[in-house]
Amino acid sequence: MSFDWLNAHAGYGFTVKERLAEIESPFQRVEVFDTHQFGRLFRLDGRLMTSEGDEFFYHECMTHPAALAHPNPEAILVIGGGDGGSSEELFSTEREAHRDGGARPRRHHISRKYLGTINKGALDDPRLEIRIGDGYEFVKSTTERFDLIVLDLTDPDTPAFHLYSEEFFRMCQGRLKPGGMLTLHLGSPVYQAETVRKNATNLRKVFKHVAPLSLFIPLYGSQWCLAVASDTVDPRAVTVDTIAQRMTERKLDDLRYYHPSMHPALFTLPRFVQDLVAAPTTGTPRVPHLRVA
């Protein structure tokens, strides 16, 4: 069984046909399984990351709502993303060039060997410059600026916790070009409600526009929240016609989840998710006056 705890009281897992790889380094534990439900499945530090069968749910929604809200995203930074799925989605537009910072070399080796159906060779694309090291330190020290920063990370309660801080979001803000955007996942609003609230709050402390989105991700067994943040662009204001036009121009005709009409739907949140990610209210709340005759 390949299992992942969603919180201290609930978990989710899949029966395994075969364990294909297991590597423990000083930095992380990497596992690959062959499963009945989703084919090859990648687990990092005990957390389910991605699978052949459902990766398009996560990777398409992590990348395209932000990338298509930008008229020409040429310089992109992916922090994490060691399975190569986010890079593959971004390269499918046939116009981006980007950096990949913060992933470990053994994870790239595993991804090349076992997860080719997910990354489709993106890790060997000449447009991709892989820099091995700490993503936090890379953002802190680089002088480069980007149209899009993708935080394709493990969960906030893992060693990646400092990449969800207000301080790191502010560092990313300083590395964005005018019109640039940051995209990341916030967690499960069902099983990690306070984590989602905290991440959204930290983003709002930094960025003018914070646009949470929500979808069900089968591998994670739950509704999941992501977000796009920017000082100049609100992706919710981009029209369906504009998304359709840009998808045609960028030859995005083989996606399996995301499409033009899905763009506004992703940002249409259930009420309980709206409450979690809403900006704090100020002033005295209005109390309706009811009179019963």
- What single DSSP character describes residue 192? -
Angle, helix 193-206 to helix 166-174, in steps of 10 degrees:
40
Distance between CA atoms of residues 247 and 241, nearest Å: 10
Distance between CA atoms of residues 278 and 247, nearest Å: 30
Q: Which residues contact 124 (CB under 8 A, 6 or more apart)?
A: 112
**Token pair of 291 as six digits:** 């009179």
Any catalytic annotation for residue 152?
yes
Distance of CA 229 to CAs 157, 233, 282, Å? 21, 8, 22
Q: Return phi, psi of residue 162, to 5°.
A: -70, -10
The answer to whether residues 226 and 213 touch, using CB atoms and an 8 Å cutoff, is: yes
Q: To which residue do tokens 């204001």 refer? A: 237
Distance between CA atoms of residues 293 and 291, nearest Å: 6
- What sign for the dihedral angle of Cα 51, 53, 59, 62? negative
**Token pair of 44 as six digits:** 């990092």
Q: Return phi, psi of residue 287, to 5°.
A: -110, 120
Catalytic residue among 54, 100, 152, 155: 152
**Token pair of 68 as six digits:** 């298509």
DSSP-derived 3-state class of residue 7? strand
Cβ neighbours, 10 Å, residue 3: 12
**Residue numbers annotated as active site:** 152
